[in-house]
Amino acid sequence: MEELLTVLRKFPLLVPQNDHFTVFDGYISAGKKEFLISLKVPSYPLLEDLRINLPWHVELCLGNSGQEVKNWEGNCTSLLTFLECLQSEIEESLKSDFAKLLFRSGDRMPVEFYEKLVDSIGCLEVKNILRKLETVKDKSLADLFNAFEETVLALSDFWDVVDEMDQKCWVILPEQPKWSDTFRRIALGQHVSLVVTLDPSCIQKVPELNFFGPEQVVKHLVSTMQENIARWPERQSFVDSLQILLGIDVFPSNPEEESSSSTADMECMICCSVLLAGETPMEACTNRCGAVYHTSCISQWLVVIASGSDSSGTIQGKCPSCNVGILRVSNVKQ
């Protein structure tokens, strides 16, 4: 009885519906909001066979954690600890950009929110997820909405990851990232960048990674990644996991948000810009200077001073930055 009184004091809006305290209906507070929940605890005070119903928008925010909540009875020692864990999990999920957009107009979401979801789902073309929508043809509007809700729930973790990358990394491409973009090219510093390609249907696994930059730096990063691949922590922040994998303390921030001094790490040494007609520097000097160039810039530069051309259509010459060694790049027609 003492534990029940503690529950009622801490969660005063959650009301027992019978004298056996096996059913609770009411609200749980989290993040300055109140959420309607329903609890069935048939073996109270034991949590065996506990069942909980959460609002659909709360389940969307919780993502995979929402499924885990329903299996917590084995890890929680009492109803009080279960509710405290639930409250903490909801509060944490409300910090995501997805949740902020979802709740910015209360339970009534703006039309542009649905438009963004529909556009993102359609562009992703995730077959095993979209199949849920395809199977509800000729059924009721409620069936269609439920399928849509399940699809959004399946993708919410993916959207949280790309939102986190957009916030914590210097994203070079896409220029204007969207939820429908499954890749991000991020700056790593030292004239090196990384293309991270994600699988929306399995966001917890190690993503596809492709490095661009000076050979020696890339070799070191690849070697570090191979050493740390077994340490990929599925339950940690995605960006934190990526830093552990690559042995990087922190990713460079977007220079537009801080100082412009770090822009030089990704600038083409010829045109002094990062983007040129939508292209980022893809060619790197293999010498110690590590200068990077747009393919078109370095090709046009070398074609004037090229010492020769081979049958594979590449040109060769000296690096405009360090004037050392032979730089070979794909020949671009003038």
The number of angstroms, rounded, from the C-alpha of 276 to the middle of its chain's C-alpha atoms is 27
246 close to 225: Cβ distance less than 8 angstroms: yes
pLDDT tens digits, 95-143 = 877 777 666 545 555 566 666 677 777 666 665 555 655 665 666 666 6
| Tens digit of each residue's pLDDT (9 = 90 or more) over 189-202 | 767 889 999 988 88
Which DSSP category does 26 fall into? E
Class of domain 282-330: alpha beta
Confidence of residue 314 (pLDDT cuts 50, 70, 90): low
Q: Collect all residues with Cβ–Cβ distance below 8 Å to 37 and sequence separation of at least 6.
A: 14, 24, 25, 26, 27, 28, 52, 53, 54, 55
Contact 52, 89 (CB under 8 A): no
Dihedral of CA atoms 324, 326, 332, 334 in degrees, nearest 10, equals: 60
Q: Domain limits of the chain?
A: 2-93, 105-160, 282-330
Is 318 exposed, middle or buried, given 0-12, 13-18 or 19+ CB atoms closer than 10 A? middle
Q: Which residues contact 90 (CB under 8 A, 6 or more apart)?
A: 28, 30, 31, 35, 58, 61, 62
Residue whose token pair is 């050979």: 215
pLDDT value for 197: 94
Q: Is pLDDT above 90 for 273?
A: no
- Average pLDDT of the chain is 76
Q: Do residues 327 and 298 make contact, with C-beta atoms less than 8 angstroms apart?
A: yes
Q: Distance from CA of residue 181 to its chain's centroid?
A: 11
Q: Would you state the structure tokens that stand for residue 58, as one six-digit string?
A: 């709360």
With CA atoms as reference, report the closest residue to 242 among 177, 154, 161. 161
Look at 269 and 193; give whichever has higher pLDDT.
193
Q: Mean pLDDT over residues 72-89, rounded?
A: 83
